[in-house]
Structure 1
């Protein structure tokens, strides 16, 4: 049995846009925990006295989430 890839995302310009409920579900399941981790990381760094580097939590969690989502979107395009 040959499994075909489902189309979850459509390519528009230089980006991918979800066009299936599974595309929205994948985005939500990655974006919401990444946002929570960013906010929690900034809060922890601020409470530990490292307020000047609280920006570090953003790239630490955003870049892996972005790379993962781009991989999923490219695979299900």
Structure 2
């Protein structure tokens, strides 16, 4: 199993801070696609991803026990 963390508007869309799912064997891009379908997440193409607190690219493979975090871009003024 894998813990998936959501931040900012993604947390609001999912309705909770994290979920536990079986994502091992998927790439980051595949996981983004699955979560977009399940939770109707907006703009996942611009979301930064971290695996075990290290930034990850869309083609990185997720392993059993990894923690994945999705972090939308932020702006300030």
Give TM-score, length-normalised by structure 2.
0.24
- Structure label with greater radius of gyration: 1
Higher helix share: 1
Give TM-score, length-normalised by structure 1.
0.24
Higher strand share: 2
